[in-house]
Amino acid sequence: MSSSTVGSGAGQLETRGIEPVPEAECNGHPLQLFWVWFAANISILGLPLGATLVAFRGLSIWQVLLVAILGSVGSFAVVGLISVAGRRGRAPSLTLSRAIFGVRGNIGPTLVSMLSRVGWETVNTTTAAFVLLSLSSILFQTPASAKDAPLLTLLFIGIFVLMTLSVSGLGHATLLVIQKWATYGFGALNVLVGGFLCATIDWTAVFNAAPAPVSAMIIGVGTMAAGTGIGWASSGADMSRYQHRSVTAGRLVASAAFGAGIPLVLLITLGGLLSVGNDHLASAVDPIIAIRDMLPTWMAVPYLIAAFGGLLLSNNLSVYSAGLTALTLGLKVKRVYAVLVDIVAIFLGSIYFMLIADSFYGPFISFISLLAVPITAWVGIFVVDLIHRHYYSADDLLNVGPSSAYWYQGGIEWRAFGAWVLAIILGFCFTSIGTTAEDVWFTGPLADSWLGHNGLGWIVTFLVAGGGYALLGGARDRRGAFVENANA
């Protein structure tokens, strides 16, 4: 729910919610999206992804480079495909999803996306607060432990969420500007830190490393895709709905694939270089501290600032999307208040995990990793639907009653919903989730198969969801508008 008056410039409040954007206000261009995706993936936390390829998969550095390109660029090409739906339908991703799953059937995918968004935002916020605690301990000799400095911890959580709110709350135009210009500053710091990290690389071991089997590369591609683009897929249309009609699908795909791919390929490759002959980074419980320990003491300050900036840029985009997802879920407030609700949730969650809970990263990340299975199933169905659907009815996207063209049968499109549920069940069959090898929460009956053992159950989920939906014939609303108005 929102007003029809929309702030069109940076610094102005965007008051549009999930209702489709009028064509007269759609003047965006792909370079804007390039910077949005670049900024969201510039975090130095990309280094541990590359470290796992060498330490746990045994890949040579040339294989790491190829896997990084295929996994990150390829998965963000999928994000770009979903951006095409935003240009066609002018609404956020999960709102457009109502046309596929039905206005009630869409509640399932939307709720999963919302839980995942809030979960990862809580991870970002707690990690950023730990970064500030570490920075403060260096500059002002304050305690580095959250429980030893509770008031300082509250302050640092508050600083991070308020900085996020100042960008995500104002909305789309402000987000575009901040993500672009902040990339220059934090990007320069990342380059500086990366240069010093290169000094720790054992180049002789790098060039003498034997290549791993092709099967290990295939597993690596899946791991990189699952850890990068797949998690951002539901934000694709959120950012592209203001794009000009003349923008081609290819340019939208390229803006996401290369915008995110360039920093990710560089960071993943550097992480692989750092891990040749040294698995410390890949196995570290706290990668922030592990990376800091590789640097000279005087480099710790710019490194921590760079780490904080990367987390903030990622959180800006995530919280903006979460606000739109909350509105799609049925929250009856203006967009800025939906963002505020999300901010309050991650603020309280961060307080709990930093000051009350005995542990955080292992159990919590395991929980939100479980959500990757239903999200991947949604992506498979959405992409297959996009191949045929060129038109979304603006009025019916917002109509959640029986008169909506997207009501289908009892508010559910059973072909899409059925394929989604089936893919989730099969995906979990190949999945094993736990905090450690000893503390396993869930093990599917096929988790010990080659696919399951190597963490590729999400590929099964994607193929079953998309393939099942295609075989069932796809969704057709009451007006048969599956391929209606192909030029819209």
Burial (Cβ within 10 Å: 0-12, 13-18, ≥19) of residue 215 = exposed
Query: Looking at residue 3, what is its pLDDT?
Result: 38
Query: Looking at residue 359, what is its pLDDT?
Result: 63
Backbone angles phi, psi at 334, to 5 degrees: -70, 160
Amino acid type, 156: F
Query: What is the sign, positive or negative, of the torsion defined by CA atoms of 109, 112, 118, 124?
Result: negative
Amino acid type, 360: F
Amino acid type, 335: R
Contact 289, 67 (CB under 8 A): no
Region of residue 299 (phi > 0: left; psi between -120 and 50: alpha; otherwise: beta): alpha
Residue 461 located in a structural domain? no
Domain count for the chain: 1
* H or E element, residue 97: none
Query: What gap in Å lies between CA 475 and CA 469, rounded to an integer?
Result: 9
DSSP string, 398-427: H--STTSTT-TBTTB-HHHHHHHHHHHHHH
Contact 300, 307 (CB under 8 A): no
Q: How far is CA 317 from CA 31, 117, 171, 310, 383, in A?
A: 16, 10, 10, 11, 22
Secondary structure of residue 142 in the 3-state scheme: coil
Residue 436 located in a structural domain? no
Query: What gap in Å lies between CA 264 and CA 71, rounded to an integer?
Result: 10
Chain CA centroid to CA 440, Å: 25
Query: What gap in Å lies between CA 15 and CA 440, rounded to an integer?
Result: 45
Residue 55 located in a structural domain? yes
Residue 337 located in a structural domain? yes
- Domain span at 269: 24-358
Residue 189 located in a structural domain? yes
pLDDT in tens, the chain (488 residues): 443 444 467 889 999 999 999 999 999 999 999 999 999 999 877 888 888 888 878 899 999 999 999 999 999 999 999 999 999 999 999 999 999 999 999 999 999 999 999 988 998 999 899 999 999 999 999 998 888 999 999 999 999 999 999 999 999 999 999 999 999 999 899 899 999 899 889 899 998 889 999 888 988 898 888 888 988 999 999 999 999 999 999 999 999 999 999 999 999 999 999 988 777 777 776 777 788 888 888 888 999 999 999 999 999 999 999 999 999 999 999 999 999 999 999 999 999 988 987 765 566 666 767 888 999 999 999 999 999 898 999 999 999 999 999 999 999 999 999 999 999 999 999 988 765 666 677 788 998 898 887 778 888 999 999 999 999 987 666 554 444 433 33
Query: Looking at residue 368, what is its pLDDT?
Result: 67
DSSP string, 211-267: PPPHHHHHHHHHHHHHHTHHHHGGGHHHHHTTB-TT--HHHHHHHHHHHHHHHHHHH
Residue 12 located in a structural domain? no
Going by C-alpha positions, the residue among 184, 187, 172 that lies closest to residue 32 is 172
DSSP string, 196-225: HHHTT--HHHHHHPPPPPHHHHHHHHHHHH
Per DSSP, what are the bridge partners of residue 412? 409
Query: What gap in Å lies between CA 36 and CA 22, rounded to an integer?
Result: 22
Residue 241 located in a structural domain? yes
Amino acid type, 440: V
Give the list of residues 6+ apart from residue 294 with CB closer than 8 angstroms, or none.
197, 200, 274, 281
Residue 456 located in a structural domain? no
CATH number (domain holding residue 236): 1.10.4160.10
